[in-house]
Amino acid sequence: MNNVLHFAWLVPFFPLLGFLVNGLGRNKLSKSAVGVVGSGAVLLSFLVSVWIFLQVKGGNTYVAEYFPFINSADFKIPFAFQIDQLSSLFLLIITGIGFLIHLYSTAYMHEENSAHFARFFAYLNLFVFSMLLLVMGANYVVMFIGWEGVGLCSYLLIGYWFGNDAYNYAAKKAFVMNRIGDLGFLLAIFWMLAKLGTVSYGAVFSQAAELTTADATIIAILLFVGAMGKSAQIPLYTWLPDAMAGPTPVSALIHAATMVTAGIYMIARSNVLYSLSEVAQHLVAIVGLATALFAATIAIKQNDIKKVLAYSTVSQLGYMFLGLGVGAYTGAVFHVMTHAFFKALLFLGAGSVIHAMHHEQDIRKMGGLKKKLPITHLTFLLGCIAIAGMPPFSGFFSKDEILAAAYAHNPIYWGLGVAGAAMTAFYMFRLYATTFLGEFRGTHEQEHHVHESPSAMTIPLMVLALLSVVGGFIGIPEVFAKDAHALHHFLSPVLVTEQAHTMEHSTEYMLMGISVAIAAIAILFAINKFSKKPELGEPAGLGNVLANKWYVDELYDAVVVKPLHGLSVVLKNVVERSGIDGLVNGTGKLVHYGSRQLRLLQSGQIGAYLLAMILSIVVFMLVWFNDGTIMNLLNKIVK
């Protein structure tokens, strides 16, 4: 308790307190009070996080043990927080972006009644609390508790408007698909306990060299299965686009600051384990690259403004996993940070557009919003440039670091990564041009009422836009300035297995030039094409396949959902009703029937009672005097 970082528990405490106050007082608190409590709780957490970050930056790291969580004869698991470079950076991202999203929500959700408004903020606070628990835990069990809490909160928030069956279905889909990944995570914990007898980070990483390659591979792959579910990688990605059913601030929170970054955090935290298994690293890189390309092709033909951003998130997460797979852990974490800036900006910008267009989300019914929403337009444009990877915006630095590491690992990875980056630039500027440029295509009533969002919504946009522009300078590559990569120096004590790649500066300049030139061509082509003639009709041919998301949902429905549903119907109607229910109900009916027959003996007729008594005496006497004969007979029957 001598270390001041022992008070790190304050970071998750404030959101938990906000959840309790808003949740329990939802029928009594005004909307203003709810907004102050919900946003203020996360702001306080952010201030404490800044203080922690400064402490860590000054060299003070600490594992704070609070109480024994599981205490058995074979192993002990404490409830402890690990405050180091990696967790302190994620604390800033979660609470900083989280606060801006809370502030934005006070205006965006203001049409809700007071009780539902409070319920929404209670869920948001609980979401932030769970995510903080996930990144602060000093062992995999505490991480898993936060992991499950995030899954629960995503279910509650995606299904926030629970009166709509489609939204409930999306919430259930997210919950079920995450559970599949969670099973992998849970098995990895059991495997570590069986092989190492501990799940605390420090002990696991120090003993990791004792694991066989097979054990290290199995643990790493099982952890990756968990990450695939939470961070929406092939084949467990389909829940994330459907999660757009939740209010837009929820989408921003899930896609930018929480939940989907959990898988990246877990693998970066476990980099020591992954360094022991080439198989696991290759698997992470290949799945990440495949996801990046696959999701990008789908985003090209989506017309729902939030769906485009959702598939963009899936694709960008693929880049992060590509970075993790090729050993560029700093690059992956760097992209988590820059992605949090511009993806939160883009989602909140999309929310501002939807708010102005009276809940319209189809970009084919928008257009010409540049002059009507000047702040939203400018900030959204900056976000598009950042995600497209144009210098000197933040996305350029982080994406370039991943692509450079991919080239050093395998030039084919780089080539495919550049192709994905080109598609990213194309679909983002298709979205931008169709929404903000050209002629207005909404209704006359929408055109009359469309207006810029209130300051509670535009201020977060401006802050995030600024971060999207300048946030990349925290990781200036060696080719531009020697020892200027501040993030790499900061994270190096935690990411100890980072694979340094050596590359001639001329080669690196050439790679950068090619990727930027291709992205710039894609941007100019998209603006020129869609500002003049946006796609307003239904696509045909391959476009129709992309618009229908390669029919993956339909495939899952045919291969997994319907067979399981059919099996459940059989289990319900045959096994449960005829088997289990039949046995239970049959026992009850037998007892009931037997009691009804026995009841007839109580007839009230004295003669019948006397007859029964005499017969009983006769039977008793026969048994009494012939017990030897009866026993012999029974022995013969038994033998």
pLDDT confidence of residue 544 = 93
User: What distance in Å separates the CA atoms of residue 149 and residue 18, rounded to the nearest whole number?
Assistant: 16
pLDDT score at 625 = 83
Which pLDDT does position 215 carry in this prediction? 96
Cβ contacts of 294 within 8 Å, gap of 6 or more: 234, 315, 318, 550
Q: For the residues 241-268, what does the mean pLDDT come to?
A: 89
Q: Global pTM?
A: 0.89
Please list, in sequence order, all residues whose beta carbon lies within 8 angstroms of the beta carbon of residue 364, skipping any fewer than 6 positions away.
303, 434, 441, 534, 535, 536
- Does the pLDDT at position 1 exceed 70? no
Report whether pLDDT(384) > 90.
Answer: yes
* Per-residue pLDDT at 596 exceeds 90: no
Q: 3-state DSSP call for residue 200? A: strand
pLDDT greater than 80 at residue 501 = no
Residue 216 neighbours by CB under 8 Å, 6+ apart? 208, 273, 276, 277, 280
pLDDT of residue 539: 87
Strand partners for 137: 81
**Six token digits for residue 580:** 């289990």
pLDDT tens column, 139-156: 999 999 999 999 999 999
pLDDT value for 168: 92
Q: Is the pLDDT of residue 500 over 80?
A: no
Query: Could you give phi then psi for residue 378, rounded to 5 degrees?
Result: -65, -45
Residue 277 has pLDDT above 90, yes or no: yes
Considering only 9-18, 167-176, 453-462, 624-633, which range has the smallest mean pLDDT? 624-633
Counting residues of the chain whose pLDDT is more than 70, the rounded percentage is 100
The arithmetic mean of pLDDT across residues 41-55, rounded, is 97
The pLDDT of 1-18, averaged and rounded, is 91
Q: Is the pLDDT of residue 370 over 70?
A: yes
- Quote the pLDDT of residue 636: 81
